[in-house]
Amino acid sequence: MLISHSSLLLFVTGAAILLAIPGPAIMYILSRSIGQGRAAGLVSAMGIATGTLFHVAAATLGLSALLASSALAFQFVKYLGAAYLIYLGIRVLRGGDTQMLEAAKGEQRLARVFAQGVLVNLLNPKTALFFLAFLPQFVEPARGHATWQIFELGVLFALMGWGSDSIWALAAGTLAERFRSSARLRRAQRSVSGGALIALGLASAFSGTRSK
């Protein structure tokens, strides 16, 4: 890597602290793990990580700066993402027990879960602004190739995020499997998962446009 060891250590420390704080991605992964099991949670984490890589590419190419400078573009992406989360939550609430029982049999459509994870992260403009603000803090212009340094740091953050999100998915999925045999708890799981997605969408829609 082009980054010095001291800057790399600072970056990894800062990234680890930020990743330990539950955010929208973790909330989404928890809802999938609780509602559909560990496999769905792990695939959701992969989808979130893939979406993160798109944001890394955008930051590297300067598209995040364009999004940050355009209030209209920011608002459009923000509300589109919020609406998508609410839509997912409503689908979970209306899905009945079928989705959970299919998850127990390993029949969940993991490709769709993966795609939804990618979209959830892609439609979060705050992620783009986060990379725009966070990654340059650790770039060392004296070493040259600042664009490549931003790319390296972004990929490293995505990999760290994938690891931490997978741990959340495994933990939530393991707990959920213990209670999936109970009809009452299945209803509770569905209500919590769907309600969390809807609340997350509403919180995203009504949050400040420049807050993380």
So what's the pLDDT on residue 1? 58
Domain coordinates in residue numbering, the chain = 24-206
For residue range 68-86, list pLDDT tens digits in order: 677 777 677 778 877 887 8
Pairwise CA distance, residues 57 & 151, whole Å: 7
10-residue averages of pLDDT along the chain (212 residues): 77 83 79 84 94 90 72 75 80 64 54 90 80 77 77 92 93 72 65 77 65 36
Token duo for residue 4: 């010095």
Q: What confidence score (pLDDT) does residue 145 get?
A: 76
Q: Where are the alpha helices (DSSP H) in the chain?
A: 5-19, 24-36, 38-61, 63-69, 71-94, 98-104, 110-122, 125-134, 146-179, 183-206
pTM score: 0.72
Q: How many CB atoms sit inside 10 A of residue 94's CB?
A: 10
Q: What percent of the chain has pLDDT over 70?
A: 78
Q: What pLDDT score was predicted for residue 211?
A: 36
Residue 49 confidence (pLDDT): 95
